[in-house]
Amino acid sequence: MPESRPPATFISDLRPSRLATIEATVAQLEPTREIDTRDGGRKKVRNARLKDATGEIALVLWGSEVDLVAEGDRVAIVEGWVSDYRGRPQVSLGRTGKLSRLSPGSPP
* Beta strands per DSSP E along 5-102: 18-29, 33-36, 42-52, 55-62, 74-85, 88-92, 98-101
- Report yes or no on 85 lying in a domain: yes
CB 23 within 8 A of CB 102: yes
Does 59 fall in a domain?
Answer: yes
pTM of the predicted model, to two decimals? 0.85
Q: Is the pLDDT of residue 107 over 80?
A: no
Report the relative pairing of strands 55-62 and 88-92 from DSSP bridges.
parallel
Query: Does residue 106 lie within any of the structural domains?
Result: no
Nearest to 90 by CA among 6, 9, 12, 16: 16
Q: Is residue 4 part of a domain?
A: no
Classify residue 1: in a domain, yes or no.
Answer: no
In-domain check, residue 35? yes
Identify which of 63, 58, 55 has the alpha carbon closest to the alpha carbon of residue 47.
Answer: 58
| Helix ranges (DSSP H) in the chain | none
Tell me the mean pLDDT in the region 94-100: 93
Q: Note whether residue 5 is domain-resident.
A: no
Tens digits of residue pLDDT in 53-73: 999 999 999 999 999 999 999
**Alpha-carbon dihedral angle through residues 22, 74, 46, 79, given to the nearest 10 degrees:** 20
- Domain range holding 85? 11-101
**In this model, does residue 106 exceed pLDDT 80?**
no
CATH of the domain at 39: 2.40.50.140
Is residue 108 a part of any domain in this protein?
Answer: no
Q: What's the total number of domains in the chain?
A: 1
